[in-house]
Structure 1
Amino acid sequence: MNTTMLYEALERHYRKPGAAHQGEILIREVPAPGSGRQADLIRIGLWPSRGYALDVHELKVTRADWLRELADPGKADAWWPHCSRFWVVAPAGVVHTNELPPGWGLLQPPTSVNRRRFTTVVDAAVKEPQLSLELLATLARRTDNTRLAEMDLLREQHRDALYKARTEARQHAAQTGLGEYVRRRLNLLDELEKLLGATLDDFGWGDGTRLDRMTPYELASALADCRDHIRLQQRQARVEELMGRLSYAAQNVMTEMRKVGNGNG
């Protein structure tokens, strides 16, 4: 088991796949206040029934990695005052229980693929964490970054699903033939691509997202922006036309006034 697999397994331990987040926030690689030493995973408990908590997890996948941790406990020392519990997370055989410093807990991943809950080999000591504005700001910032990253991932997955569905629909249509209405709509798309000077597969919009990978909402917003831009251009052209007419009329008036003035003279 490598570190990535252990990360994912630990997140499944706290969050059942496909379910809501169940009152916990999980944040990877968080620096300790006043230190550059990072905790591998922070778990913030949000439900009183499960206990409010700020748990620090250190992930170890090899015996050598664990022995290096014991030789240099600086990371643990940096986080110890600020956590409710301090856990070492490692597969069986990596950590010997008699090597754990006082207060440290030990979690082991399940050995069966049908299980997701970790085994608590040694309970971690529970204590009151020392919270500071620096720590709260760091946790809030990293939580927001994690949320945005998850939203970007979901959006990209949605785009991939839409793209796959559209591609399959095109292939199916090519194999089964098209009705008159569908052919007429496709002809309109051909005309649109000519006006754009690019195919929809290649045309980038705004942040560079291709039109054929946009969600329906994003595509509607893009077309609405395009419509508003066209209307603005039309109004500007209308104003310029009226200004031209007024200028022409003003010149004619001035010419006639000069004629009248010359006649009186």
Structure 2
Amino acid sequence: MLEMLTAKDIIELLRNHYIAPSKPSPGFFCPELSDPTDKRRADLIWVPTTWQERGQLIGHEVKVSRADVVAELADPTKADAWARYCDRWWLVVSDPALIDGLTIPEHWGVMAPPSKRRRRTMTVLRPAPQLTPADKTLALANVLARLHNTGDDVFTRMQRLERERDTAVRTAERLETVNARLGEQLRGTAARPRETEKITAILDAVTKRTKTGGRHQWLQADPDAVAVAALDYALIRRKTQFLLRRIDERVSQFSRALAPTDVTDIVEGLTGLSRRVQKDLDDADAAADVDTLTR
């Protein structure tokens, strides 16, 4: 599995090597740092701040394939762009096998990923000797520039997090308000179980009717449509009942006005009309025509 590690993976292993989890950092961890001439980059510069190592610069070159190692060893002076300012210089490989049979410069130490027994500390294949660095002023200036830029990045991230926190707080407050309203509605519904049962029964009946095939099979039991249709139906029913009462009144008036005269045919005709209208009303009431309900 170790031979599949990427350079980014190795950098994270080095971070764990130098900085113990849940403890203050004993130094500055500066990956991908340009040298003072801005021509080359070190994969990692570690700047310890402990009393014993304060002021040192420890450089690292990371390689994850044998071809990369061979290319680096073909011209070791490329590393000098940073190594000349460092107190130690490490070649860090993803697997010890990458350097088998190769000659490593004497002033380089060699590291590999942690062994199974030591999961945080890197495996030292060869210690890095103490070097005699050149004047570090320009190199330390690069480190300070990195720390300054990192501080700006952290400040920007903190501002963004504060804005996101404020947004989250406002969202939570709105959700609490909505939740409270829903709770009130639910409590109100629970206090009127009979009304709730009636509404549920109406919707179930309409849904059942719309699923029974024919020309109504694709209708949907939309609550708003049901409410409007129910109101329309109630209005039609009231008007029909009013019409029936008027017809009955007219029949009675005709009967009284024409009592001496044989008006049997007229009375029977009007009575038949009244019965037909009443029958239509009863049929509509029993069937609850879906066309009327969904209109």
Using the size of structure 1 for normalisation, the TM-score is 0.58
Equivalent in the alignment of 2:59: 56
1:2-21 matches, within 5 Å, as 2-21=6-25
Q: Percent identity?
A: 31
Equivalent in the alignment of 2:174: 170
Runs of 4+ in 1 over 6 A off after TM superposition: none
| Residue segments in structure 2 that go unaligned for 5+ positions in a row | 183-295
One-letter amino acid of the structure 1 residue matched with residue 52 of structure 2: S
Equivalent in the alignment of 1:134: 138
SS of structure 1 residue aligned to 2:82: helix
Distance 1:114 1:153 in 2: 34
User: Relative to 1, partners in 2 of residues 1:154 and 1:128: Cα closer, same or farther, differing over 3 Å?
Assistant: farther
One-letter amino acid of the structure 1 residue matched with residue 138 of structure 2: E
Equivalent in the alignment of 1:39: 42
1:110 positional shift: 2.3
Distance 1:156 1:45 in 2: 30
Match status 1:149 vs 2:153: yes
Match status 1:103 vs 2:95: no
One-letter amino acid of the structure 2 residue matched with residue 78 of structure 1: A
Equivalent in the alignment of 2:86: 83
One-letter amino acid of the structure 1 residue matched with residue 152 of structure 2: L
Partners of 1:83 and 1:127 within 8 A in 2: yes
1:215-244 deviation line (CA, Å, top 9, x unaligned): xxxxxxxxxxxxxxxxxxxxxxxxxxxxxx
1:149 positional shift: 2.2
One-letter amino acid of the structure 1 residue matched with residue 93 of structure 2: A
1:27 positional shift: 1.3
Partners of 1:37 and 1:74 within 8 A in 2: no
Distance 1:116 1:150 in 2: 26
SS of structure 2 residue aligned to 1:94: helix
- Structure number with bigger Rg: 2
Equivalent in the alignment of 1:117: 121
User: Relative to 1, partners in 2 of residues 1:113 and 1:128: Cα closer, same or farther, differing over 3 Å?
Assistant: same
1:138-171 deviation line (CA, Å, top 9, x unaligned): 2221221123223433444454455445434433
1:52 positional shift: 4.1
Residue of 74, 93, 115 corresponding to 1:71: 74
Distance 1:150 1:125 in 2: 35
Count of residues in correspondence between the two structures = 178
1:169-188 matches, within 5 Å, as 169-177=173-181
Partners of 2:76 and 2:105 within 8 A in 1: no
SS of structure 2 residue aligned to 1:83: coil
SS of structure 1 residue aligned to 2:131: coil
Distance 2:137 2:54 in 1: 22
Distance 1:100 1:165 in 2: 57
Query: How much is the aligned-residue C-alpha RMSD, in angstroms?
Result: 2.9
Partners of 2:107 and 2:131 within 8 A in 1: no
1:113 positional shift: 11
One-letter amino acid of the structure 1 residue matched with residue 75 of structure 2: D
Partners of 2:10 and 2:62 within 8 A in 1: yes
1:238-264 deviation line (CA, Å, top 9, x unaligned): xxxxxxxxxxxxxxxxxxxxxxxxxxx
Partners of 2:61 and 2:91 within 8 A in 1: yes
Partners of 2:115 and 2:122 within 8 A in 1: no
1:50 positional shift: 4.4
Distance 1:115 1:16 in 2: 12
SS of structure 2 residue aligned to 1:12: helix
Distance 1:119 1:105 in 2: 11
Using the size of structure 2 for normalisation, the TM-score is 0.52
User: Relative to 1, partners in 2 of residues 1:97 and 1:173: Cα closer, same or farther, differing over 3 Å?
Assistant: farther
User: Relative to 1, partners in 2 of residues 1:58 and 1:134: Cα closer, same or farther, differing over 3 Å?
Assistant: same
